[in-house]
Amino acid sequence: MTRRRQIYEGKAKILYEGPEPGTIIQYFKDDATAFNAQKKGTINGKGVINNRISEYVFTRLAHIGIPTHFIRRLNMREQLVRQVEIVPIEVIVRNVAAGSICKRLGLEEGQPLPHTLIEYCYKDDDLGDPLIAEEHIACFGWASQEEMQDISSMAIRINDFMSGLFAGIGIRLIDFKLEFGRLYDGDFSRIILADEISPDGCRLWDLATNEKLDKDRFRRDLGGEVEAYQEVARRLGLLQENAENEVLDFDSHRKKRGK
């Protein structure tokens, strides 16, 4: 088997050179990190579940006209995606107060925000992904005004769609992170959705009980991370009843045999 060339390894994924020019293979790891990688661990089978959830959400978003880098899922842990130039900005969409905004502004966790709030962070792990304003983005040329208009309008549309999607399966979308990239066609580029959408980058609470079904279970040492991720996948119809053990057993067996 030809050895693939690794392009990049991040906290949750590895990127490999794709089979065709302009494509990349995105591999989902089980590694879990929090607090800018100060806390590290493993959530068994997370990569398998995140691959399926992200595929599902990106496919649904494409159906409503959101351009994305997703092409197709290759196997249990890998996707084929379009190669893009990542805009160095994390887009945080907040519907309910949770996480860092509570610490920064003294808000009570779970407090509904007056309206959806979009925040931006500069993507730099060494700096701790600092919070920035649109003026910073314009000043340092990280994205043009037109690109930011596309990013903000897509973020709102994605939030509206995902809020309804998750509400329909008894889950409250608290907040989530998005990343965007530039897809080039000659000298012309357009902004498309990139990275992933999964419980790694979303806060998802059960509508009835407020039980956390996302990576906060790892951040806060709540336990039950695997079950929470599986529950999201199951409610989305991606994991049949009692099939999660088969999925994880198959993946474990595949890893023992080697890729």
Q: Same domain for 103 and 68? A: no
Q: Same domain for 60 and 92? A: no
Q: Same domain for 63 and 18? A: yes
- The reported pTM is 0.90
Let me know if residue 31 belongs to a domain: yes
Q: What's the average pLDDT block by block, 10 residues per block, for the chain (259 residues)?
A: 83 96 97 84 95 98 98 98 98 98 97 97 94 98 98 98 98 98 95 98 98 96 96 93 47 47
**Counted domains in the chain:** 2
Q: Same domain for 35 and 75? A: yes
Q: Same domain for 100 and 53? A: no
Cβ distance 41 to 32 under 8 Å? yes
**pLDDT at 39 (0 to 100):** 87
| Helical axes 244-257 vs 225-235, angle rounded to 10° | 120
Amino acid identity of residue 109, one-letter, is E
Distance from C-alpha of 234 to C-alpha of 197, rounded to nearest angstrom: 16
Q: Same domain for 49 and 140? A: no
**pLDDT at 256 (0 to 100):** 47
- What is the DSSP annotation of 14-55? EEEE-SSTTEEEEEEP-EEEETTTTEEEE-TTHHHHHHHHHH
Domain range for 25: 6-84+226-248
Let me know if residue 167 belongs to a domain: yes
Let me know if residue 150 belongs to a domain: yes
Let me know if residue 238 belongs to a domain: yes
CATH number for the domain including 151?
A: 3.30.470.20
DSSP lists the bridge partners of residue 255 as none
Q: Same domain for 76 and 131? A: no
Let me know if residue 53 belongs to a domain: yes
Q: Same domain for 117 and 202? A: yes
**pLDDT at 243 (0 to 100):** 46
DSSP conformational letter for 65 = T
Q: Same domain for 237 and 199? A: no
Q: Same domain for 70 and 160? A: no
**pLDDT at 244 (0 to 100):** 47
CATH number for the domain including 231?
A: 3.30.200.20
Residue with tokens 């595949």: 254
**pLDDT at 240 (0 to 100):** 67
In sequence order, what are the residues at sequence separation of 6 or more whose Cβ sits closer than 8 angstroms to the Cβ of residue 73? 51, 52, 55, 79, 80
